[in-house]
Amino acid sequence: MNGYEVIHEKSPAFYDRYERKGELQHQTHYCPGCGHGVAHKLIAEALTELGVQDRAILVSPVGCSVFAYYYFDVGNVQVAHGRAPAAATALKRAHPESIVISYQGDGDLAAIGTAEIVHAANRGENICVFFINNSIYGMTGGQMAPTTLVGQVSTTSPWGRRPGNEGLPLHVCELLASLETPTYIERVALNDMKNIMKAKKAVKKALEIQKNGGGFSLVEILSPCPTILKMDPIVARKWIGETLMKAFPLGVFRDHKPDLPPNAKVPHKSVAEALEVEEAAPQVPAVRRHHHTRDLTVKIAGFGGQGILLMGQLLAEMGLRENMEVCWLPSYGPEMRSGSAHCHVTLAHDRIGTPLISQPEVLIAMNELSLRKFAASVVSGGLVLYNQTRLPEDFSVSQARVVCVPASEIADRIGSAKVANVVMLGALLEETECLPAESAVDVLEATVKNPKLLDLDKLAIAAGRGYIDTEVEVGAVSQPDGYSY
Ligand SMILES: Cc1ncc(C[n+]2csc(CCOP(=O)(O)OP(=O)(O)O)c2C)c(N)n1
Ligand code: SF4
């Protein structure tokens, strides 16, 4: 066909399926006509053509493209708003053989992340930055970006951008080209096929420069955002050609390797040698007990106000004191009281890969809602500790053992409903033997300042352990009628 090759397939640099949602795994989350999808495609194709997919690391920003990591089958890192060039710097320096891409919107790069991009460019970091200029904040509903045009209406410039009030649009390519250290800076556009092909070349060139150790590249991509600009996708593309490109002219702003004076040679010395002090013997913390610690993943869930997060912190702190690797990840809604809250705790002897636990070995459900919501996620052969005397009539857990511990009732009897979480912690320690119970008392003594509450907490730990020892048969299995033993 006239020398063209027709390819009906996705770039292999994309995942086969986008597993963010249960349904529609063949399509992205972008709006119809959005330029992010096109820009992704150009990057994916260039990665494949250069044969660098396997060593590529994509740093996703905050903005509409926050989920880029669901699409690119490369190493992925998602960072805080604006911080992508800083994270990319660290990744590249730690893994010089990798190909590191910082992908950023104009709010992300030119507003909150101005410092990061300027300094990464000024250091001449050997990374590629793909900068999507759609002239607006997309994800948050259309606030003015530094790239918003004079007169352009946005939710924060309802009368149109006024130079005397909001300044003039920021020209990132021109700004960075005033530095001596960048290697390659170009502005391209996704307004028509010809320019899309040019954009592809620029993206590939930037990646090639990095592959050859050539230094810092930035490709600014003028990109349509039909949704926020309230335009039909075709009109949005036209608007780029007719309006946005006038304010942001396309072109190459820098295309040569900087001629920098060589770095001074730094003699390799240890810190002690450099400071001319004696090398200190490595500090190995005294281990009190090696026995009786067990790798465990625990999800603790209930209402805000039940001390859910604190329970997780206490458990993690106990693990720390036993020289384990620990992780505590809280998750709660905006409501301080009565909203739902849960946290994940990992106790491990080896390094922990992720703080998230999708299938916990233990679920502590402090209320019925949490039981119903999370029980099915417990691993087969796992354990559910439920804050009641029995499971709800219509509910059973087939794959995990259930132990019902009426922690709130026990706490009431001790003298305060507040310590139900600590009762449950005692039950967890006794049932799983994951950590020595003495360490719980040590942690409580170190963290609880109020002596009365400390006494109650000590009673609560003992009561939770006692309940398991006296009321729950060893190896008890949940019965069809919901009884735990
Ligand atoms: C520190 C911080 N400040 C503000 C926000 C809110 N926020 C999320 S996305 C966004 C704008 C992103 O716009 P842009 O970078 O232009 O990307 P687009 O959505 O247009 O692709 C803002 C302000 C945030 N998430 N974090
Ligand atoms: S809001 Fe704009 S930038 Fe965001 S996905 Fe939709 S079209 Fe793209």
pLDDT tens digit sequence for 125-159: 999 999 999 999 999 999 999 999 999 999 999 99
pTM of the model: 0.65
Q: How far is CA 348 from the centre of its chain?
A: 21
Residue 44, classed as helix, strand or coil, is: helix
The residue whose CA is least distant from atom 5 of ligand 2 is 30
Please write the tens of the pLDDT for every residue from 405-439: 999 999 999 999 999 999 999 999 999 988 988 88
Average pLDDT of 306-313?
92
Give per-residue pLDDT as tens, 190-229: 999 999 999 999 999 999 999 999 999 999 999 999 999 9
Which position has the higher pLDDT, 216 or 25? 216
Residue nearest to atom 21 of ligand 1 (CA): 64
The pLDDT of 49-54, averaged and rounded, is 98
| Best residue among 60, 129, 139 to mutate for probing ligand 1, ranked by most atoms within 8 Å of CB | 139
Q: For 340-378, what is each residue's pLDDT tens digit?
A: 789 999 999 999 988 889 899 999 999 999 999 999 999
pLDDT at 287: 43
Q: How far apart are CA 135 and CA 106, in angstroms?
A: 7
State how far the Cα of 210 lies from the Cα of 53, in Å rounded to an integer.
13
Q: Is the pLDDT of residue 380 over 90?
A: yes
What number is the average pLDDT over the span 17-45?
90
Task: Report how far ligand 2's centroid is from the alpha carbon of 228 (Å).
Answer: 7
CA distance 68 to 408: 44
Mean pLDDT value of segment 239-254: 98
* Stronger pLDDT, 74 or 306, i.e. the higher one: 74
Instruction: Give the pLDDT confidence score for residue 276 in this predicted structure.
Output: 87
Cβ(137) – ligand 2 distance below 6 Å = no
Inter-CA distances, 67 with 79, 221, 287, Å: 11, 19, 43
- Give the tens place of pLDDT for each residue, 88-137: 999 999 999 999 999 999 999 999 999 999 999 999 999 999 999 999 99
Q: DSSP secondary structure string, 204-272?
A: HHHHHHHHTT---EEEEEE---TTTTT--HHHHHHHIIIIIHHHS--EEEEES---PPPPPP-----HH
| pLDDT beyond 80 at 1 | no
Average pLDDT taken over every residue of the chain: 91
